[in-house]
């Protein structure tokens, strides 16, 4: 005769759950979904990588490139690969210069005119920044993307054109670009944000503690804050001196006013 199945294999009848227990389970699930940490985790993907991301770049007559791009970047990590001398660093240099950095910050030249390809009269760089999400800059004007067009002449002059998603020119002022960079917290002169090859070599081979401290001051923007503080302090001193000077001038005017008023109020005798 075949063996009977063990008792562990016997299916038990489904457990009945009363209405009160069911309500408690629903409330528990609802509490877990409404927990602040859960809401924060669920909302990370909704706000991350929405503004300030470099979407594409195009180079024309810039350094060794006659025409490069446009090519697009991903939202996360991107790698630019190529043989030595193929112009990989030129892409980073164009990014720094177009987003307001000076030639010295690139460690590739002392003047902007050095970035114009030999034999050409000007160089052009176009960079598109993502402009979406809660940190978007004037989204009603620019739309979901901001394009920064830079032209460098052989004489070293730099001009900007800031375009909306539709291609319309919104501004040609560098102050507008600085406002955009400040809104997106883009710091091309910060070695932590943009670490060039030369700067990384300098940092790794520097043995003095003073050099590392300078790097720390610059990367944390404490050095910039110090310069701003000194500038504000100087401006305050100059303003106070002008106020004092004008205060003395105001006293002289008031004295003249009183003299004229006294002369006007004196009775005039007509003979």
Domain boundaries, the chain: 51-186
Q: Does pLDDT of 53 surpass 50?
A: yes
For all residues of the chain together, what is the average pLDDT?
A: 78
For the record, the structure tokens of 105 come out as 């910050």
Instruction: Please report the pLDDT score of residue 271 as a whole number.
Output: 54
CA distance 164 to 73: 19
Instruction: Please report the pLDDT score of residue 42 as a whole number.
Output: 44
> Is 0.75 surpassed by the pTM of this model?
no
How does pLDDT run across 119-170, given as a tens digit for each residue?
899 999 999 999 998 889 999 999 999 999 999 998 888 899 999 999 999 9
Per-residue confidence at 19, pLDDT binned at 50, 70, 90?
Answer: very low
How does pLDDT run across 81-91, given as a tens digit for each residue?
888 888 888 88
For the record, the structure tokens of 256 come out as 């003249």
Q: Does pLDDT of 218 surpass 80?
A: no
Looking at 3.40.50.300, 3.30.70.890, 3.40.50.1000, 3.40.50.720, the CATH number of the domain 51-186 comes to 3.40.50.300
């Amino acid at each position: 005769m075949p063996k009977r199945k063990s008792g562990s294999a016997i299916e038990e009848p489904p457990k009945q759950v009363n209405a009160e227990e069911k309500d408690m389970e629903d409330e528990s699930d609802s509490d877990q979904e409404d927990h602040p940490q859960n809401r924060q985790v669920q909302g990370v993907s909704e706000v991350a990588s929405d503004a300030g991301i470099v979407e594409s770049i195009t180079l024309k007559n810039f350094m060794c490139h006659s025409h490069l791009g446009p090519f697009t970047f991903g939202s996360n990590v991107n790698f630019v690969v190529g043989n030595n001398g193929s112009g990989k660093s030129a892409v980073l240099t164009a990014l720094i210069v177009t987003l307001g950095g000076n030639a010295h910050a690139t460690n590739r030249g002392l003047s902007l005119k050095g970035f114009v390809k030999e034999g050409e009269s000007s160089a052009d760089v176009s960079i598109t920044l993502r402009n979406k999400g809660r940190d978007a800059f004037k989204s009603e004007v620019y739309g979901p993307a901001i394009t920064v067009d830079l032209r460098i002449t052989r004489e070293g002059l730099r001009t900007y054109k800031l375009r909306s998603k539709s291609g319309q020119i919104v501004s040609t002022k560098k102050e507008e670009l600085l406002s955009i960079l400040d809104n997106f917290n883009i710091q091309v002169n910060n070695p932590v944000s943009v670490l060039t090859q030369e700067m990384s070599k300098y940092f790794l081979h520097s043995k003095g503690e003073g050099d590392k401290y300078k790097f720390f001051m610059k990367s944390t923007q404490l050095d910039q804050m110090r310069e701003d503080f000194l500038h504000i302090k100087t401006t305050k001193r100059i303003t106070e001196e002008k106020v004092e000077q004008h205060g003395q001038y105001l006293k002289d005017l008031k004295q003249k006013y009183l003299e004229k008023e006294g002369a006007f109020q004196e009775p005039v005798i007509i003979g």
